[in-house]
Amino acid sequence: MAYFDAASSAPLHPVARQALLASLDEGWADPARLYREGRRARMLLDAAREAAAEAVGCRADELVFTSSGTRAVHAGIAGALAGRHRVGRHLIVSAVEHSSVLHAADAHEAGGGSVTQIEVDRQGRVTPASYADALRPDTALACLQSANHEVGTEQPVAEVAAVCRESGVPLLVDAAQSLGWGPVAGDWSLLTASAHKWGGPSGVGLLVVRKGVRFVSQGPADERESGRAAGFENLPGIVAAAASLRAVRAEAEQEAVRLRELTERIRVRVPQSVPDVEVVGDPRRRLPGIVTFSCLYVDGETLLHELDREGFSVSSGSSCTSSTLTPSHVLKAMGVLSEGNVRVSLPMGTPEEDVERFLKVLPGAVAGVREKLGAPAAAATVRQDDALVVDALGKRCPIPVIELAKVIGDVPVGRTVRVLSDDEAARLDIPAWCEMRGQEYVGEEPADHGAAYVVRRVS
């Protein structure tokens, strides 16, 4: 089985396994106690903190260990906002942040705060100017991921940090995806990360708060981890997390070159072997191991099952794989195709032959799914004035787009097709289809049920 979902959780690094087993024997005692076993546990904890701080590029007393990366994000945002409550309650986030950041922003807004969401381009990247424009006198905190978890695009963190610093606003960086590859550049103020993203054990996160940043921990007081992460430290997990971070960093430079070549191979060859594919994300400023593409006329969930049967574990941002039947917020913010979406994220050490086998299997898997969906019950079409109306109500992705593709050639150039759909994904996928096919997306109109998406044939 080829595991291609390292962006969700990387396989446990051998060094992490060794450190975990060793610390189960040596680090079980309370590191706050003064007897021998406690002192031994404290030495392990201090050594792990020093190693993690060195990898981050911060002081050891600026870093605390949390129970997860999500917990680090929530604690970091809440503490920074509380520490600057006299300045105001305005929070800035990008539209493509991890859900943990967006959920924290929603909670802040529900509690009476205000939130500005920064838009991205079709590559998934923000601009420093957009953060500069969003800053206000009452801005308490800004957040920006170092690299995107779905498409791999790297963000201009250093430039945004400089803009925020000029206005005296702290910047929190979610470095979960990138920290294993290297430290985050720039004069950021807070940083969060998660050990299972770089091959450490799950249940360990990092929260860094630079000296001089106003920060007030939320929740009941606790003496552990400088009061910023309540509860008994998961010492074996912490030791394994720090050891694996140091280990992957030692391998990162050489492995990055190798994985970039493999992902570039996927980026180039998938569109050559599979028709109607959009490769998304920045082609150059990206993490080494992530490549994402979307396939027209494909049910994402069905495609993932087909690839699983062929021995490949991949993930998807397609609405067809979501229990809410809504497309990924990242793909939606980018304005790219979401249907038939596949994210390949290669773990360190991925064999070249696994990638080659994936490239051989994928065309047949996509063709098989398209064949299954190629002859659905035809949607009702009627003439309404000079427009062709396609009734795709009740049909989920990718059926509305398939039906649009079937009839676009039946209307004269310059005339329109109105697609009636109550699937949220159509709001993203129909404009994306027009972009790929050189047709004009006129816009969305209200309808008795769902919405009408108007497309003009131009070629």
DSSP label at residue 386: T
295 in active site: no
| Long-range Cβ contacts of 414-417 (<8 Å, 24+ apart) | 414/456, 414/457, 414/458, 415/386, 415/387, 415/388, 415/456, 415/457, 416/386, 416/387, 416/388, 416/442, 416/454, 416/455, 416/456, 416/457, 417/387, 417/388, 417/389, 417/390, 417/454, 417/455, 417/457
Residue linked to tokens 């005296």: 168
Sign of CA dihedral 387, 388, 394, 399: negative
| Of 179, 231, 230, 246, the residue nearest 19 (C-alpha) | 246
**Cα 106 to Cα 112, 117, 205, 315, 371, distances in angstroms:** 10, 11, 22, 26, 41
Residues 434 and 421: their CA atoms lie apart, in Å, by 16
Task: Give the tokens for residue 427.
Answer: 């709001």
- Residue-level length of the chain: 459
Which residue out of 143, 164, 320, 434 is catalytically annotated?
Answer: 320
Contact criterion met (CB below 8 Å) for 449 and 455: no
Residue pair 344/2 in contact (Cβ under 8 Å)? The answer is no
Contact criterion met (CB below 8 Å) for 300 and 319: yes
Q: Which amino acid is at 244?
A: S
Print burial letters for 7-41: b (CB count within 10 Å at least 16), e (below 16): beebebbebbeebbeebeeebebebeeeeeeeeeb
- CA 103, chain centre distance (Å): 14
3-state SS assignment for residue 211: coil
Q: What residues are annotated to the active site?
A: 320
